[in-house]
Chains A and B, each alone.
Chain A
Amino acid sequence: MNPLAHVAVPTSELPGVVWPAMPSIEGARMLATQFQFAQSERWTPQQLSRAQFAQLGLLLRHARDTVPFYRERFGDVNLGQLDATSFAWIPLITRSDIQAHFEAMTSRAVPRDHGRVYAGQSSGSTGSPLRFRFTDLQEVFWHAYTLRDHLWHRRDLSGRLGAIRGRVTPGAVAGWGESTDSAYQTGAAVMCNTHSSMEEQADWLLREDPDYLIGIASNLQALARHCAGRGLRPRRLREVRTYGEALHPDARAEVRRAWNVPLVDMYTCREGGYLALQCPQHEHYHVQAEGVYLELLNEAGRACAPGEIGRVVITPLHNFAMPMIRYAIGDMAEAGAPCDCGRGLPVIRRIMGRTRNMLHRPGGGVRYPRFGELLFGDIAPVLQYQVVQKTLRDIEVALVTSRPLTADEERRLRELIVGQLGDPFAIVFVYRDSIPRTAEGKYEEFRSEVQP
């Protein structure tokens, strides 16, 4: 059976015609894009690469001709013969480059048919936010990838969608939103805010009883843990979908334990859009190569081989308002081997997270530390924690506890944390009433303030 055979019949707007549907023009455009996705995801890497570089050529010429930052950078470089080799000569840009050159990186002549130009801002859990520009066109593609994710994972669009997000007003609306509703009839969507307590979120979940639940990874993991401990199991839930943070290694197991449903993760960022979606057949991710040229670069600056971890460097293909060409977004990820699902889209095996979530070891080198709240809970009544590396020798641990800890509890916690970090760091405890999430609802378990 073909992977598309399950898809629902779109909503038809043509009088008398039920099937095949002729949707509104917005719906038709959406399906026309899905038609192309269904083909391009089956292309060979060579075919994908050819299409990407044809599109990149247009983007780079636009950048050179209308964006001061790139005019300087590209000068007289011949942009006619782009391929992976010639492209790799372009210097990388970082978050601080975009922050420093916001105006200079803005196009002076955005094509009129890309629609309105918006200013966006990405949170950045620490330090100053990142401002960037984007257009209506990217919104259109954003919706297209959202729908692709639904189609890949064969979601029943008539189901009830529950969302726990940072910037939403709690309540209910008819329909899942623009991504789906231009072409399909969808069920209701119900919203809850990440700033609600776990008790409130769990109550909401049981009360609303959605078929699908979407939210920030750490929040849903915490909710799953909360529910598992209390035996709270919503009746209809079929799948949990996460975004916004690197997935904790235990997240899938915890969601499975709590609710007996699979977890489907996605890799997005506000300034770059959809970067990768989870393969419908595996736990790894497929780069959304139709929208982004994504490189994983090792320390030598070369493309990572499968199994190698490297920096995520993106070039969104359709941002003509503020082209970001070879932008190192500050994440690390592991390259994957080609997938056996039949899709030629490149594979990311794991998303490690932000570089600022990496521990800098006193003797040199870095690694991603992981902690388990459950272990903390075995020693002391810890409700919340956050570990911050202050220097190459000093770690500060912020704790929210239900009562003051004893000296012995602190000692045992210290031993546990030092053991987990693997190096003899000096640990200082600070006590807080709460450790708030960011406005988007993100939460960092570990953060390093050590500058590389």
Chain B
Amino acid sequence: MDGFRHVPRSACSGVLWPALTDDESARMLALQYQFEQTQWWPQEKLAEMQLQQFRSVFAHAVATVPYYRERFAPWRSGIESWERYRELPVSSRADVQQAGSDMHSSESPPAHGPLMKTESSGSTGRPLVTLGSAWTQMMWHALLLRDHLWQGRDLGGKLAAIRSFAEPGRAGNWGAATAAFTTGEAVVRGLSEDIDEQLRWLVQEDPEYLLAYATNMQALAARSLELSLRLPKLRQVRTYGEMLRPDARRIVREAWGVAIVDSYSSEELGNIALQCPQSGNYHVQAESLIVEVLDESGKPCPPGTIGQLFVTTLQNFSMPLIRYASGDFAEVAGPCACGRGLPALSRIIGRQRNMLVRSDGVRHWPSFPMQAWKDVAPVRQIQLVQDAIDHITVHVVMPRDFEGEEAQRLTAALQQCLRHPFRITLVRVNAIAAGAGGKYEDFVSLLVP
């Protein structure tokens, strides 16, 4: 890697290196300098500093946020320990939606900069409106820059991004998170465009890095393989916003010879966990959030088990979220082999509505390698909807009707994937609509509230 390309942009005449940057960039690099250290701290030290920072957020929340003033009245005296922290009542997405502006601080610190509103899609329809400040935003950008640095990206490369609701565009740089550096250009396309059109565009742009939703990325890679298209300059792809299918990494590797780096973020919480540069784990961004993974009885999950995520924002003083049930589930990892003390998740599982429930009480998050049906019929896309405890309706996009024994064989393949003899109804459809925000879900349960 060419280190000199990672020298920040100097704002001082005659000085190229070491760079003397503009003030905003200096602040960004001051955070990175701390991240370089804190990522290696032992978990106890991280936890100690998190609790210190949380006390500050908590005091602010109780004093200035109506929703918390009542809710946390019994804990007003302060949160002096993690035991005390875990007593605090949790809030669901619905609670937050219902509270509305009662969630807003009446005194967001002016030094945190102007407030900004974020509307998070929520695949189920009703959007969640959150409030953040320039400081909150800066922390998110700092974590994105951390991701670039962790993954050793060449910031001078061209970045192509396929985003929901985006108009085609072109910019001279990668954006605010990398403003301290001179970067290559960035090109953007909308998610709603046809895959073949997206591919034509990618071949033409020939980027070093590609950013897209996981399913979009996988579809692009699969289509590239079919058409034997290469992206010769591509060095790495970044996915976000959806769960990675188990075979996504393999297909992308086959198609383009590069690795996927996944990240776990949400519009209301920012970057929650970033893929470890050494292992495949996801590291919780402990400087920005407290993340708990709790079982059904509310107890912390040990490594290797799956639980629901509860998140507290540590840097949002305009609308603090405290023990907020994001709706996602994840599997807890043991200490990461990379040596970082940042807590690790081995898998992000998805939301509760992506959980399968069987009549024998077994629950799990099914996943579907594309290979499972591709060998059976010319299936382009598929979505399973569990509408009864023993029945699943399968929406299938394919260019023609089923022929011969294709329907029976597909049913059998799906039953094998689901590890249960569900009754299955196949329905051929022209398209499967993405949820709000352009996200796809392979499996949706209508049984889970």
Contacts and interface: CB of A to CB of B under 8 A. Distances in A.
Co-complex (A, B): yes
Interface of A: 1-2, 4-7, 9-10, 14-23, 25, 27-40, 43-44, 47, 50-52, 54-55, 58-59, 62, 111-114, 137, 140-141, 183, 290, 317-318, 320
Interface in B369-391: none
A19 B52 contact: yes
Contact of A10 (B2, B11, B17, B30): B30
B20 A5 contact: no
9 contacts: A14-B112, A22-B30, A30-B30, A31-B34, A32-B180, A35-B32, A59-B14, A140-B20, A318-B15
B18 A40 contact: yes
Nearest to A7: B37
A9 B60 contact: no
Interface in B9-29: 11-21, 23, 25-29
B3 A36 contact: no
B14 A14 contact: no
B111 interface: yes
The 9 closest A-B pairs by CB, nearest first: A32-B29, A31-B30, A35-B33, A2-B40, A5-B40, A28-B30, A47-B3, A111-B13, A32-B26
A32 B52 contact: no
B15 A55 contact: yes
Nearest to B28: A32
Nearest to B135: A14
Contact of B17 (A1, A22, A51, A114): A51
B31 interface: yes
A17 B315 contact: yes
A150 B368 CA distance: 54
A35 B339 contact: no
Contacts of A35: 29-30, 32-33, 36
Contacts, number: 156
Given A58-B15, A114-B12, A137-B12, A50 B4 contact: yes
Contacts of B52: 18-19
A21 B34 contact: yes
B208 interface: no
A36 B8 contact: yes
Interface of B: 2-4, 6-8, 11-21, 23, 25-41, 49-50, 52-53, 56-57, 60, 109, 111-112, 135, 180, 287, 315, 317, 339
A44 B135 CA distance: 36
A19 B19 contact: no
Contacts of B11: 113
A160 B53 CA distance: 28
B37 A5 contact: yes
Given A35-B36, A111-B14, A113-B13, A22 B31 contact: yes
Given A5-B41, A32-B29, A50-B4, A20 B35 contact: yes
Given A19-B287, A111-B13, A10 B21 contact: no
A25 B20 CA distance: 12
B49 A9 contact: yes
Given A15-B109, A32-B29, A55 B36 contact: no
B33 A47 contact: no
B109 A58 contact: no
B40 A20 contact: no
A36 B14 contact: no
A5 to B, nearest CB: 4
A18 B56 contact: yes
B2 A47 contact: yes
A54 B16 contact: yes
Nearest to A112: B13
A29 B26 contact: yes
Given A2-B40, A35-B33, A113-B11, 4 more contacts: A5-B37, A47-B4, A58-B15, A137-B15
Contacts of B8: 32, 36
Contacts of B12: 111, 113-114, 137
B109 A16 contact: yes
Contacts of B135: 14, 17, 22
A58 B53 contact: no
Nearest to A2: B40
Contact of A25 (B3, B7, B26, B317): B26
A201 to B, nearest CB: 37
Contacts of B60: 16
B18 A36 contact: yes
A15 B35 contact: no
Contacts of A40: 3, 17-18
A16 B61 CA distance: 11
B83 to A, nearest CB: 21
Contacts of B180: 32
A294 B31 CA distance: 31
B137 to A, nearest CB: 13
Contacts of B7: 36, 51
Contacts of A17: 53, 56, 135, 315
Contacts of B35: 20
